[in-house]
Structure 1
């Protein structure tokens, strides 16, 4: 994809613009602190695209992709003096009522495909390549639920940018951070829902909380209810009043037999502060104290921030890390 956000050569980002798929796996791992583990990880990252091609070749119409995200601690181990400008740890949020935790995570593998078996095959190959160099700290298998609804019954991702607006919202520009242009900041949170409690709430109340009608997915006016809705709290504007978007590729997940029902939130943004502002509005409130009422039914149990570098930036990172480890280039 060539981004219109820069007049320079194509940025060659990862496949952030891949159409939303019917299946996904969200894999978060930490890297063992020993140097040998880091060496294994660097080799795996260098060969990640070849693994994707190996699996994708079995059914090219299924549009298999894998986006790699790297956290601040992992980036600093590989290239401590040269990192994306705004890359930092997930900001823990403690409101009067609800808490957004910051949890461990060095690498994110966001695997997407029309077929769950191909997601599984790629994840298996990635983990075999990484071996005992990493520890899995979170693994979520997501699925598309009917017409892109979450398990609360509402359509999710309606406000996602499309067309030329998508790279404008998600890809860092050369003017902002020249060495990391074409990359994207990624925030993930795993939410667990209290569906029994949610289902005791009337449809009218649910719609007031979300800010959209449940059946037709029509946006409700901001003054529909006395308290700001989830939709309104997640609307962020710049100094000129222009709305700033992020790309959400949230997926439902669950194990009905275990009573587990959830949504995996994943947001890609050109500006990390936009996603952070949305979460601050939700947990602290806007005004403070008037938090997002969806949090009375949905509890985050993870929170990690990553940067998904462009392909050229990833290649440079691998080269830098190998040099630090004293490894000769292939």
Structure 2
């Protein structure tokens, strides 16, 4: 990703890795010392990351920081990004995209699990008494980028020069948020027992792609039940498609009968993901919800803004 020399983005477009940790925290904001500690820690993320990166330069370690709407003013003192707001609950006839708390998101990625672990340890040593853990999820790459439902995930991601346009805010769009990106996260739990009662053809109809070779299937006719692939494709009133960057990861434990997908979407326009969720949960047309939700239940839902790395570093000066 490129931008002007004065504003450096965070590594939101870092390559997919074999491991990731998704850490969501709430700040004890009634304590001024807690705000100061959190601000200082976030500002030093580059140095904390360097301590880990130097242990294995080939491990592609990165950490992206997202800041939630409720803590933005107290933590940064900066103008608010135009679309920054709490996650909006989406209630359909049968399924609900729940909204859950979250002031900070740490998206930690590497080719080695131990590096993610060590970074999280050092980070929490600094933050321990100033934050409350909302959720921590450890993800892993599953075979050839498949989710635990057995389908390739992330096929619709933008590539090459299309990535910055999809995820990075320009000065023309929002001068207060240059080189930043909105982030939406949801933790989905899968009912694999029910999913496996479907035939391969039925599963493919739900997803909208073939299972073995990931070939896109034709859309259903207008007014009929649409696949997940179709409902997650967002176009504006002029017919222009708007992409987001997903870095989803499977997670789970067979012995605990827990299987899931951690959805994380980066976008330059928050409304794109919000509309995608409305289409999935309410349906298009309304009442024909995304059938993947009959087998995948969201248990979290939070929205964050990832400021540029330059903004993150500047917090130490406040």
- Identify the TM-score tier after normalising by the shorter chain: over 0.9
User: 1:19 is matched with which residue: 10, 15, 22?
Assistant: 15
| Equivalent position to 2:111, from 109, 114, 128 | 114
Deviates most, 10-19 or 249-258 = 10-19
Counterpart CA distance in 1 for 2:271 and 2:48 is 33
Matched with 1:276 is 274
By how many angstroms is 1:79 displaced? Answer: 4.0
Determine if the alignment matches structure 1 residue 257 to structure 2 residue 255.
yes
Q: 1:316 to 1:55 in 2, by over 3 A?
A: closer
- Aligned positions of 1:25-104 closer than 5 A: 25-33=21-29, 34-79=31-76, 82-104=79-101
Deviation of residue 131 (structure 1)?
2.0
Return the alpha-carbon distance in structure 2 between the equivalents of residues 50 and 25 of structure 1: 19
Asked if structure 1 preserves the Cα contact closer than 8 Å seen for 2:43 and 2:315, the reply is: no
1:144 and 2:141 correspond = yes
Give 5+ residue unaligned stretches, structure 1. 323-330
Deviation at 1:240, TM superposition (A): 2.2
Q: Give the superposition deviation at 1:241.
A: 1.2
Helix, strand or coil for the counterpart of 1:182? Answer: coil
Alignment check: 8 A CA contact 2:79 2:176 kept: no
The 8 Å contact of residues 179 and 313 in structure 1, kept in 2 or not, is answered as no
TM-score (normalised: structure 2): 0.96
Contact 2:43 2:314 in 1 (8 A): no
Question: SS at 1:30's partner residue?
Answer: strand
Is the CA contact (8 Å cut-off) linking 2:19 and 2:139 kept in structure 1?
yes
Deviation at 1:224, TM superposition (A): 8.0
Distance 1:68 1:278, change over 3 A: same
Tell me which of 309, 312, 319 is aligned to 2:310: 312
Q: Following TM superposition, by how much is the alpha carbon of 1:313 offset from its aligned partner in structure 2, in angstroms?
A: 2.2
**SS of the residue aligned with 1:61?**
coil
Please list every run of 5 or more consecutive structure 2 residues that lacks an aligned counterpart in the other structure.
none
Partner Cα separation in structure 2 for residue 269 and residue 85 of structure 1: 13
SS in 1 for 2:107: strand
Q: Which residue of 2 is the match for residue 223 of structure 1?
A: 220
Runs of 4+ off more than 4 Å:
none
Identify the residue that residue 196 of structure 2 maps to in structure 1: 199
Match of 1:302 among 277, 300, 306: 300
Partner of 1:240: 238
CA distance in 2, matches of 1:228, 1:161: 22
* Contact 1:194–1:297 (8 Å) recurs in 2: yes
CA RMSD of aligned residues (A): 1.4
User: Cα distance 1:224–1:178, how it changes in 2: closer, same or farther (>3 A)?
Assistant: same
Contact 1:208 1:224 in 2 (8 A): no
Deviations 1:159-195 (A, max 9, x none): 1011000111000111011131100000000000000
1-structure distance, mates of 2:74, 2:142 = 39
